[in-house]
Every structure is written in structure tokens, then in C-alpha cells.
Structure 1
Amino acid sequence: MGTRLNSKVAFITGAGSGIGAATALRFAEEGALVVLCGRRIEPLEAVAAQIRDAGGRAECAVADVSNEAAYVAAITAAAERNGRLDILVNNAMAYSWGAIDSTSTADWHSNFATTVDGTFWGTRTAMSLMRVQGSGSIINIASICGLFGTPWMAGYSAAKAAVINFSRAAASEGASHNIRCNVVIPGVVETPATAGMLTDDKTRLNTEKLIPLKRVGQPVEVANAILFLASDEASYITGASLPVDGGRSSELYTVLE
């Protein structure tokens, strides 16, 4: 067990799988008390059991991040139970798929309810709690889709772009209270959400050809970046957007071999 997050209380959304679960495990390994938030208790309890079996501390909070009252109540209750909130990771997301000319207004809005509204509600609540204690770190999870136009994912791309710029504003407002806000921008990472684009060896190989490091990322690699920004090692970093994408966002075009 490490000590980078000793005595800190962390709240992580979308913590039942993928990047959220990997982040919860890494935080617990570094001494944090981790509150895992998601819509279903079963996956949360599975991750919590892993944490406890390894000697860590974990709690579960069932809440739909797209429901303002439920999400705000979950964060507030966790802070009241544990006496403080040191870290918030807004990781939960939702997306729709389809061409712009066939996207309904309801589908368009569905991309924003969790990704943008949830990030706003969580950040607003966390900043109020952290202002009282005089410190805190908020990490919002965006996507490489928020940096570049992505066909058939216009709503998701727009929502993730909004997260990036909203976080800059939050960093500016929080700085005077020692509240830091940063963004992690994953590329293609092997999670349940990306399973559909890595369905077979050919599809996977074609995807990897577009990535300078020539491989798909793993959830723990993103979790390690989130851990750094959450920790005191990043005490002078706020308003930053950190790509964790194998170099994908650094290239104008890719030379295929």
C-alpha cells in the first residue's frame, strides 16, 4: 500500500467498471477512503470487495449522475459521513451514436445529462464543500472526441468539449480557495464502453495503427494520470488538460505502414 492519498476522502462516479473502477483501486492502494458511485450496486460492491480484500477502505453510493437531486445528495452524504471531501472524479458518461441528420433532440440531450450536467452538479457541490475546508482536487474526465470532430458521435463530442472548457472556468474560480480542477482526456482505452469498436482482431489492429504507441490503452494507465492530478504531487497544477491517448492527439495525420 502506498501513501500518496493517505487520509483523503475521494468520490468517484462511474466506479463500477472501466476507468472508474481502475481509479478507485489505485486511489485505495494509495491510502484514500474511496466512495464508489454508480447506478447499480452489484458492480460497485464487486469493486469495493476487491479494495477491502487488499486492505483498503471503500464505500458504495448508488446514484444516477444525470439526476441532480440524487447525485448531489450522494456527494453531500459521503462528505457528512466522513467529515470532508478531498477529491472528486467526474467519470460517469453517456452517449448516443448516429449521424447528425438522424439524431433526435432527445438523443442529442441524452449526451449532456450525465456528461455535462452531472459534471457541473458534482463540481458545484464539491467546490462548496471544499471551500469550507480550504482545499480539494476535482478531476473531470473528457475524451479525445472532445478535441476532434468525430463522425456519428456529434453529441458526445460536443459534451466532452464542454467538459474541457467548463473545467478551465472551475479551475479559475477555485484557485483562490486552493481548489484545483483538471481534466484527463483518454484516447481509445479498453473498457466496456469501447468493446463495440474492438470486436475482432482486424478492427483492433486498424484502431492501433492510428495510435503512435501502436496499442490500445488500459484503464489503469488513465487511472495513474488521475491519481497524479488528485495527489499533492500536482499541487501547482490546475486548469490543465492532460491527454492519455498513446500520442493520438499529437499527430496531424498517421503514416500507415
Structure 2
Amino acid sequence: MNRFSEKTVLIVGAAQGMGRACAELFGAEGANLVLFDIEADTLKATAEQLSGKGYPVEASSGDVSRREPVHEAVVRAVDRFGHLDVLVHTAGIVELKPLLEFPEETWRRILDVNLTGVFLTTQEAGRAMAKTGGGSMVVFASTNAFYVEELNVPYSATKGGIVTFVRNAALDLARHKIRINAVDPGIIYTRLSASLIEDPVAGPDYLKRIPLGRWGSPDDIAKVVLFLASDDAGYITGEDVIVDGGVTLGVSLGIEDLKL
């Protein structure tokens, strides 16, 4: 399929993990790629590898919590490719610590990156899309928006905020023919989650909680993102799609192991 032929896609948090997986699939479906990430060296390597596959690639490094680099990435997208059609926002940070011990400066940094970053990219990309007849956006939230865990108050708060932001933004942006949806990944096998997944005790224990019985991959998320960004989802906006292998469906009581 070439659902994104001649479309320009800005991916925020594109250097690795789920953002990179999205870039790979968008490129394979004909998109012009604009990659944004704070990790300049990793971003450069990713851009070179994708360009080597023949994909049109523009890379822009910066801090998503600041307007200037976000604005510059959008300008570069429009200057090179003439238009911006899709925004995918994957960027986010997390730090685990008890609430009563959490430093205020770290709390503010997590809010700046995870929530203000979404506001800035949505606003800057939305302004560009509105000038050319519309577009689509997919923002990464998390199952932590509603399925909370210990030591994770700031991250969960920002992800809950993203879900509400997306619903409100969908109403506001519809007049400009811009759709926006959220995707909620569960535990996905990436560099950031490897320490949990590969732990000889915690890994198998958590895996038992996944009804589908396997870890999610970045491609599992990217395929949903491409659907939501495509014309196949042209009548969907303001929605929050959970991709977690069934973890948040409920609690397994192990009844199947009981001798009833």
C-alpha cells in the first residue's frame, strides 16, 4: 500500500523505539519524513538509515518543550515538501519516585515535555495544516492515563491530560478539517522497557498479566498509528485507542488453574 504517497509526516520522538517504527512504516508507504528528536546523534543515524532506503527525509533536533525548535521543524517540513499532512507525537519522559519525595523541578520538567510539548507541536503543526486544507494527528498517551502504577504520579498525570487534550482539540480542530486521536501503548519492548522485560523475576510475572501472552512490539503500535493517520480513519477524531494486549481489560484471578 501507498496510503501516504506525497504526504508529509512530522514524527516527534523519531530517533528510536516506537517513533522510529512509525517512521519506517510511513516511509514504506510513500511518505516524506520529517524527524524530530532531542537526541541529535541518534536522530542523525536514524535519518541516514532511512534515507539509505530511498525515503525522503528531513531531520531536525531540539527540545519539544520549547516553541522555537518545534516551529523550525514545521517550517523545514513546509519549505522542503510544500505542506504538512500528518503529525505523530511520541515524545515523553518518565521518572519513578514516591510522590512525597518527588522534586518540584522534575515534576515541572515532565509536565513541560509530556504535556506542553503536545500543546506546542499540535499548535504549530495545526497552523500549517489549516493553511493547506487540513490533516491528521496522532498523539501518544499511555495506559497509565487510567491504569495507574506505583511511583508514577507525574507521568500518569500528563498522560491523562493528553487524553483530555485530544478530545478537546478534536472539537476545536474539526473546523479546519484536522483530525486528532490518541493511542495508548501498554508495555512495549523497547530500549526503555528492556530492564523490566528482561528481568528474570519481574519480566515473567508481568507477562502473565498480558492476556495475549506476548510483549508488544514497536510495530504493533506503529500499525495502529498509520491507520489513525490515514484516510481509512477519515471519520474518526477525538478517540483514544488502547494497544496493550488486553492488560487493562481486568484482573486475572487464575480461575482456569483452579479445580472446580
Would you say same fold, with TM above 0.5?
yes
Preserved contact between residue 11 and residue 87 of structure 1 (Cα < 8 Å): yes
Q: C-alpha displacement at 1:215, in angstroms?
A: 1.5
Q: Structure 1 runs of 4+ off > 3 angstroms?
A: none
CA distance in structure 2 between the aligned counterparts of 1:149 and 1:240, rounded to whole angstroms: 20
* Comparing 77-86 and 116-125, the one that deviates more: 77-86
Deviations 1:217-245 (A, max 9, x none): 00011000001011111111101110010
CA distance in 2, matches of 1:49, 1:125: 26
Aligned-residue CA RMSD in angstroms? Answer: 1.3
Describe the superposition over 1:83-130 as per-residue Cα deviations: whole angstroms up to 9, x where unpaired.
111001111101121011111211211211111000000001111111
1:40-55 map, 5 Å? 40-55=39-54
Superimposed CA distance per residue, residues 146-182 of structure 1 (whole angstroms, 9 cap, x where no aligned partner):
1222210100000011011101111111112210000
Give aligned pairs, total. Answer: 255
- CA deviations 1:65-90 (Å, max 9, x no partner) are 12222222222232232211100111
Which residue identity is paired with 1:255? L
Q: State percent identity of aligned pairs.
A: 34
2:151 maps to what in 1?
152
- More displaced 10-residue stretch of structure 1: 211-220 or 67-76: 67-76
Q: What runs of 5+ residues in structure 1 fail to find an aligned partner?
A: none
Offset of residue 16 of structure 1:
0.7
Does the 8 Å contact 1:41/1:60 carry over to 2? no
**1:133 matched residue in structure 2:** 132
Question: Does the aligned pair in 1 maintain the 2:170–2:179 contact within 8 Å?
Answer: yes
Q: State the partner residue of 1:248.
A: 247
Amino acid at match of 2:53: A
Asked if structure 2 preserves the Cα contact closer than 8 Å seen for 1:76 and 1:125, the reply is no
Q: Which residue of 2 aligns with 1:63?
A: 62
The corresponding residue for 1:142 is 141
Tell me the equivalent position of 2:123.
124
Q: How does 1:31-110 map to 2 (within 5 A)?
A: 31-110=30-109
Matches within 5 A, 1:195-234: 195-234=194-233
Structure 2, unaligned runs of 5 or more: none
Q: CA contact under 8 A between 2:93 and 2:113: conserved in structure 1?
A: yes
Opposite residue 247 of structure 1, the aligned amino acid is G
| TM-score (normalizing by structure 2) | 0.94
Which of 1 and 2 has greater Rg? 2
SS in 1 for 2:87: strand
Write the distance in 1 (CA, Å) between the matches of 2:159 and 2:133: 28
Amino acid at match of 2:188: V
